[in-house]
A and B are shown apart, each in its own frame.
Chain A
């Protein structure tokens, strides 16, 4: 790749990080974080974006970042208080900045009016109220370049009309500070020589006796005559870095008001006086010999009279920053990690096969080979866990996109919303995270748009005007559970039911429990919005959310209390790559049941199993009736019901918390299996989550417990009707 293109890519990656830091910093400040380092980090984020954008000539981005940076600088310097109002503007500015970055990356257009409006809002925060002042400053940025170019242009014109050669007399006396800053007088002379013909006379008269020499002192002075076709600007530029640390006198021969020999003595006297006072007064070193006109525009620096002492705070801040050293990281191409994970997956399968072969060979369990294999198994597992950990990332990267979403939807709906996030550090596989963003976005939209009431209604209901949306993540029994809850009105069950009837999703006289009504919103074709707003969906409903969660091997459930709000709970596997499973036999087929779902296994007794209608059966477990699901029949492996007495029942818990018993023929054992996607290689099969390769090299299907339980449960009439209506 072209190196600049690669750097450009790096820049945009870095922008993403800085935008994230910017937002989390602003949110921390909003939440009361008063650590100056937080403000500094926020400032640095914008500053870096601006710096990089400048390098790639992304002018829109530079302009906006500059205004934003200026505002942040005021906050940093304590000139502007970080009030909630100020922070609101800045958070929106962060959103715009993020839009601008994306626009720059993709080369798309931005909403210029919106940018300009927000830039004005930012400027309005300026404690100096100085819109004009800002503009002056931004002009100033480009001035040095412009002036120099003008100068050169003038020179070109000049050359055409008259003798281009000038003679400059330069008197250059470095001070000790010049050397202390690692500047070197000899280098200045070298650069001067490059401009033209240089005659140098070194004045060593100040040089003391060797025993009195201060090694750090400055004793030499140079008188030079430079004949060049360059103008004074170019000559002065040579002294750009040293102008403050030397006595410099540049006079142009023949220029008006040039110092003549007569008053040279007086000048030298004045100069000497300056030199003596130099240590106390680091002031304007340029002597009177320079004409006013030559000064104008010649240097980009104003007289260095206003001296800003270095704040002592700086050192303290630096020391403080030391404590916050980030742990070292490396960036690795995701493909490489994926390849490693695949290989480790193969290794696990291979190791399992090997174990089985050894077992089949009839070697004793205590034989050296078997013991060695046990160790290998442990190591393989550890390698696998470690490799998986590489892919694990905190959900923060998705969570931190939500505050912006909440702000935007709150603005569109006119509702006042507070978003509380919890468990951002919870880690989950990167592929899961990536595919989490869309469903989560949709659920948050839904929570604000449909869940929360309008401020008036909330006040009337005796609730705080500001609605609360809570987003939380936690690990629970090998899965990650993400909850989106709101303190809104809860699901309006009569309305949901009437809509479902209206849309032909259920029969008009269907008797449904509250739970069943709530779950209607997941049915395809159900949407409570009377018109499709651009908020809650580009025409998609909760069914799409449910499907995308299911595609991840996850479940979604809902709990709602009228008047108190709703909670959507998603439970997802931590990784999409491995699974602890129970290997079972059903009608001669080998299936894997995810271990996380299994509560216990039991041998049904005749007295415990009861028929219910034609097909359904229940089993009494500790005096509780639990649906007994014949896996063989559900998956159409066989037509007739299995004999419960000759089978094993697996008591499983589904995502909603309900329990069912799955009837299988026999249990083969428990094993960690590598998940091979069925969708990627074949297609989605209802009731089957994925496939795997067993130790003997055969393919086994992994049972989708919830799907099997769900289809067996919703056999009642309405579901068929619903499917007919939709399908």
Chain B
């Protein structure tokens, strides 16, 4: 059975790119527009991996990751953070919030899938 990936990003462009790359790689893709929306989606779905942006309205990536880690149902889901640059500070904060790993934007599909494979059982 194909794995389900939840992508959380406020940018339509980025959501579309993730969708294209991930569905080409055979994943089922769920989409959320911000952290708050992401948590809502999680109430009904059990994704295998979550890919999230950091800068988002309503609830940003840090808050979203913390929210997922607090949720007993989803706390064990690997979360990959999308960062625009290899910003140490941001990665560090994401890690502290409970992120599993990160993907540096701009990503190519191979890089994205490799990162997902690295954390997906």
Partner of A183, one of B13, B14, B78: B78
Per-residue contact bits, chain A 42-66, to B (CB 8 Å; 1 contact, 0 not): 0110011011101101000000000
Residues of B in contact with A, size category: 35 or more
Residues of B within 8 A of A144 (CB): 86, 104
Contact status B14-A52, CB under 8 Å: yes
Partner of B86, one of A52, A300, A310: A300
Point out residues on B near A: beta carbons under 8 Å.
10-14, 16-17, 20, 35-36, 55-60, 62-63, 69, 75-79, 84-86, 88-89, 91-93, 95-102, 104-107, 118-121
Residues of B within 8 A of A4 (CB): 20
Residues of A within 8 A of B16 (CB): 6-7, 10
**Most B-side CB within 10 Å, residue of A10, A44, A141, A241:** A241
Q: Please give me the residue from chain A that is nearest to B99 by CB atom.
A: A181
Contact status B104-A47, CB under 8 Å: no
Residues of A within 8 A of B17 (CB): 7, 55
Contact status B89-A322, CB under 8 Å: no
Partner of B58, one of A7, A183, A300, A325: A325
Residues of A within 8 A of B107 (CB): 55
Contact status B100-A143, CB under 8 Å: no
The DSSP consensus for interface residues of chain A is helix
Cα A43 to Cα B13 with chains together (Å):
17
Partner of B11, one of A52, A140, A321, A324: A52
Contact status B98-A181, CB under 8 Å: yes
Within 8 A of B (CB), among A645-702: none
Q: Can you list 27 A-B pairs with a CB-CB distance of less than 8 A?
A: A3-B20, A6-B16, A7-B17, A7-B20, A11-B13, A14-B12, A43-B55, A47-B55, A51-B13, A51-B106, A55-B105, A180-B75, A180-B98, A181-B100, A182-B75, A182-B76, A182-B77, A182-B100, A184-B78, A241-B100, A241-B101, A301-B91, A307-B92, A318-B60, A318-B63, A321-B36, A325-B58
Cα A10 to Cα B20 with chains together (Å):
13
Q: Is residue A203 within 8 Å, beta carbon to beta carbon, of the partner chain?
A: no
Q: Please give me the residue from chain B that is nearest to A141 by CB atom.
A: B85
Nearest chain B CB to A216 CB, angstrom units: 10
Partner of A314, one of B58, B60, B77: B60
Cα A186 to Cα B84 with chains together (Å):
29
Contact status B63-A315, CB under 8 Å: yes
Nearest chain B CB to A55 CB, angstrom units: 4
Partner of A301, one of B56, B88, B104: B88
Q: Is residue A535 within 8 Å, beta carbon to beta carbon, of the partner chain?
A: no
Nearest chain A CB to B16 CB, angstrom units: 4
Within 8 A of B (CB), among A22-60: 37, 40-41, 43-44, 47-48, 50-52, 54-55, 57
Contact status B106-A54, CB under 8 Å: yes
Cα A314 to Cα B105 with chains together (Å):
23
Point out residues on A near B: beta carbons under 8 Å.
3-4, 6-7, 10-11, 13-14, 37, 40-41, 43-44, 47-48, 50-52, 54-55, 57, 140-141, 143-144, 180-184, 186-187, 191, 240-241, 244, 300-302, 304, 307-308, 310, 314-315, 317-318, 321-322, 324-325
- 4 smallest CB-CB distances across A and B, nearest first, come from A241-B101, A54-B106, A11-B13, A321-B58
Residues of A within 8 A of B35 (CB): 318
Cα A416 to Cα B102 with chains together (Å):
49
Nearest chain B CB to A108 CB, angstrom units: 21
Residues of A within 8 A of B36 (CB): 318, 321-322, 325
Contact status A310-B20, CB under 8 Å: no
Residues of B within 8 A of A6 (CB): 16
Cα A281 to Cα B77 with chains together (Å):
26
Cα A356 to Cα B97 with chains together (Å):
71
Cα A322 to Cα B11 with chains together (Å):
18
Nearest chain B CB to A190 CB, angstrom units: 9
Residues of A within 8 A of B75 (CB): 180, 182
Nearest chain A CB to B62 CB, angstrom units: 6
Residues of B within 8 A of A143 (CB): 86
Cα A315 to Cα B97 with chains together (Å):
12
Nearest chain A CB to B30 CB, angstrom units: 17
Beyond A52-B11, A314-B63: 6 further Cβ-contacts under 8 Å?
Answer: A40-B57, A182-B79, A191-B118, A240-B101, A241-B119, A321-B57
Partner of A14, one of B11, B88, B93, B102: B11
Contact status A310-B96, CB under 8 Å: yes
Contact status A181-B55, CB under 8 Å: no
Cα A41 to Cα B58 with chains together (Å):
10
Residues of B within 8 A of A41 (CB): 57
Q: A44-B57, A240-B101 are in contact. Are A182 and B119 (CB under 8 A)?
A: yes
Contact status B57-A48, CB under 8 Å: no
Cα A3 to Cα B20 with chains together (Å):
8
Cα A315 to Cα B36 with chains together (Å):
12
